[in-house]
Amino acid sequence: RPDDDGEAGLAVATKPKTKRPPMYKVLLLNDDFTPMEFVVMVLERFFGLNHSQAFELMLTVHKKGLAVAGVFSYEIAETKVTQVMQLAREHQHPLQCTMEKE
Ligand code: TYC
């Protein structure tokens, strides 16, 4: 019973619920075979990073094992993952890209 004044006769206000859509992190995973330049190109092409940002993020993945390439709505995140996985497959690189709810 929202806004019920209950036994004590006191009205209790409810918060106006403005639900933001859930956001998804797109993760890039390290491997031993995908060329560094390919990963940099992927980050420039699909994640809108400039060359130095892309190089820096690629190195973070290389050193730490994974990194967040971007945060998007479900549909956009899913599209990014599909694009990366398809290009990697076409070039026969084992690069892995996944998404995870924030
Ligand atoms: N570790 C790869 C190499 O040494 C480079 C690499 C970086 C691969 C990031 C995947 O997501 C990746 N060639």
Q: What is the 3-state secondary structure (H, E, C) of 16-61?
A: CCCCCCCCEEEEEECCCCCCHHHHHHHHHHHHCCCHHHHHHHHHHH
Please state the atom number of ligand 1 nearest to the C-alpha of residue 29. 11
Ligand 1 centroid to residue 63 C-alpha, Å = 9
Instruction: Quick: pLDDT tens for 50-102.
Output: 999 999 999 999 999 999 999 999 999 999 999 999 999 999 999 999 999 99
Rounded to the nearest whole angstrom, what is the distance from the C-alpha of residue 62 to the centroid of ligand 1? 5
> The pTM is what?
0.85
> Could you tell me if 19 and 92 are in contact, meaning their C-beta atoms sit under 8 angstroms apart?
no
Pairing of strands 96-101, 66-72: unpaired
Phi, then psi, of 99 in degrees rounded to 5 = -125, 155
Which DSSP helix (H) or strand (E) runs through 76? Answer: helix 74-90
| Residue ranges around ligand 1 (CB below 6 Å) | 28-32, 34-36, 39, 58, 61-62, 95
